[in-house]
Structure formats: structure tokens, C-alpha cells
């Protein structure tokens, strides 16, 4: 009976590989969560693992019409908890979170969803949020029609129009800051995708509201990372110059 139930709950996992990863990393409750998001019609099956990180796994899924979706599932572990705490504490939107491990991870996932919504409202180029429940989040899949996810800027070896990439990145940061009133707080070439000529901001779980006591410090760190990356691409911009570019961009938003 238990075996039958397990089979039932994992039928959203397409291949044996995905099933194995899933069962190694996730508890039954998480499998139940995925099942419930699938039952609501958000997707039919998790098809392949896009990325396994320290805190979350990202899968590619398909819905009933064959469209791709990205499903990000957070692990519920102690290290996740400790890494998340500074970004949740101090964000007034999440004041009431109980300090239970799973509650914090659930709040984090909700925070990523809310931040994606805020990005969408501010017209930041970011995946469209679709649904979330507990520690799982469904969003637009950024990738080609064959299901390959778009590369992060870090891994791009071909020559791009780096000036244009920089301008797009500045516009995204400015929209987040002036319109959505958030700071990404983990911005670097690892969390920017390049898709069909467009820069796409991802991984916004840790993004904090401007009123967070450390918002300024996080912004400085983001801008430093952006400065370092684009300097390597031949665009020498220090943090001060980036700030000036942000202010100039503000007028045209």
C-alpha cells in the first residue's frame, strides 16, 4: 500500500533519474507538495533536473499543452536555514515568521515568489511567477524550444555586446530599486541569464526591501560584483560610476 502511494505521488517525476534525485533530496511532504502543485494544473511532469544547488533544485517541467515551466524546490536543511536567516530578519514583509526550520524555508519560497511578482510589476526582466506552495515554486522557464535552459552570463564564452548587456543590467537594478523597492542581494554573473539577446534576472529569494537594515550594504555588494564582472569584459566602471548610471536610468524608467 505504502509503495503504491509512493508511486502515485511520484508519477509527476518523468524519468528514473529525476525520481532518484528527488527521493535522495526530498522528504515525503515535499513530494506531496509537488503532487499538489501538479494536480492544480501548473504542470504535468518534472522532466529533467536543470540545476542542483546548495539550497534548491531547479527542474524543467511540462504542462498539459507541452509548454515548459521551471520548478524550483528548496531543500529543508539546517544549512539552508542559517544562510537564509539574515535576509528574512529585518524585512518587514516577513516579520511574523516562526523560527521553525521548515517555516523559514517556506517563507523564503514565498519571498522569492513575492519578489518575482514585484519584479513583474516593475517590468524587470525576470521569470514570470506562476504558483508556489510551501517549499516549491513554479515559474516561467527561460530557455529554448528544445528545453535547454538559457546560460548564465558567467558561462558565456562567445563575444556579446557587453555594453548592451551592461545597460540592460543597470536598467534591471534601477527598476528593482526605484520601482519594486527591493535590492537583489545576490547579484552577479551567476544570477543573470542571457536569453535571445536579453538579460534575465533570476534567484530573487534573498532580495530584500529597501527598509531592510542591511539593504545598502547588500546593494554595495551587488554593484561591486557587477563592476568586477563588466570590468573583465572591458567596461571599466567603478561602483560610483554605476550609481551615477543608475540615477541617469531612473529618469527614463
Closest contact distance (angstroms) between CB of 16 and ligand ADP is 21
142 in contact with ligand ADP (CB under 6 A): yes
73 in contact with ligand ADP (CB under 6 A): no
Closest contact distance (angstroms) between CB of 61 and ligand ADP is 11
Closest contact distance (angstroms) between CB of 203 and ligand ADP is 3
203 in contact with Mg ion (CB under 5 A): yes
Residue whose C-alpha cell is 524546490: 73
Instruction: Reply yes or no on whether 6 is catalytic.
Output: no
Instruction: Reply yes or no on whether 186 is catalytic.
Output: yes
Identify the CA nearest to 175 among candidates 137, 120, 223.
120
Query: Which of 53, 147, 197, 213 forms a contact with ligand ADP (CB under 6 A)?
Result: 53
129 in contact with ligand ADP (CB under 6 A): no
| Residue 186 Cα distances to 142, 151, 157, 238, angstroms | 19, 17, 22, 18
Site string for ligand ADP, 149-178 (x = CB under 6 A): x--x--------------------------
| Residue 227 Cα distances to 3, 157, 223, angstroms | 53, 19, 6
Residue whose C-alpha cell is 527591493: 182
Single out the catalytic residue among 91, 134, 186, 222. 186
Residues contacting residue 196 through CB under 8 Å, at least 6 positions apart = none
Give residue number: closest CB to ligand ADP: 53
Closest contact distance (angstroms) between CB of 156 and ligand ADP is 12
18 in contact with ligand ADP (CB under 6 A): no
Closer CB to Mg ion, 45 or 205, in the complex = 205
Active site residues: 186, 203
Contact positions vs ligand ADP (CB under 6 A) = 50-51, 53, 55-56, 58, 70, 72, 127, 139-143, 149, 152, 191, 202-203
Amino acid at each position: 500500500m505504502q509503495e503504491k502511494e509512493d508511486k502515485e505521488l511520484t508519477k509527476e517525476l518523468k524519468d528514473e533519474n529525476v525520481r532518484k534525485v528527488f527521493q535522495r533530496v526530498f522528504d515525503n511532504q515535499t513530494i506531496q507538495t509537488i503532487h499538489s502543485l501538479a494536480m492544480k494544473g501548473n504542470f504535468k511532469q518534472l522532466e529533467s533536473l536543470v540545476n542542483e544547488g546548495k539550497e534548491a533544485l531547479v527542474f524543467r517541467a511540462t504542462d498539459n499543452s507541452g509548454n515548459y515551466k521551471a520548478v524550483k524546490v528548496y531543500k529543508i536543511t539546517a544549512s539552508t536555514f542559517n544562510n537564509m536567516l539574515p535576509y528574512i530578519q529585518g524585512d518587514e514583509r516577513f516579520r511574523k515568521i516562526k523560527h521553525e526550520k521548515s517555516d523559514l524555508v517556506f517563507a523564503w519560497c514565498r519571498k522569492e515568489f513575492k519578489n518575482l511578482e514585484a519584479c513583474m510589476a516593475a517590468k524587470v526582466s525576470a521569470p514570470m511567477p506562476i504558483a508556489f506552495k510551501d517549499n516549491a515554486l513554479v515559474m516561467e522557464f527561460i530557455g529554448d524550444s528544445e528545453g535547454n535552459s538559457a546560460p548564465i552570463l558567467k558561462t558565456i564564452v562567445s563575444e556579446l555586446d557587453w555594453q548592451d548587456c551592461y545597460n540592460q543590467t543597470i536598467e534591471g537594478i534601477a527598476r528593482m530599486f526605484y520601482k519594486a523597492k527591493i535590492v537583489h542581494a545576490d547579484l552577479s554573473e551567476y544570477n543573470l541569464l542571457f536569453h535571445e539577446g536579453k538579460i534575465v534576472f533570476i534567484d530573487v529569494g534573498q532580495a530584500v526591501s529597501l527598509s531592510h537594515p542591511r539593504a545598502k550594504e547588500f546593494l554595495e555588494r551587488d554593484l561591486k560584483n557587477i563592476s568586477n564582472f563588466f570590468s573583465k569584459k572591458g567596461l571599466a566602471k567603478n561602483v560610483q560610476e554605476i550609481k551615477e548610471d543608475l540615477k541617469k536610468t531612473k529618469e527614463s524608467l
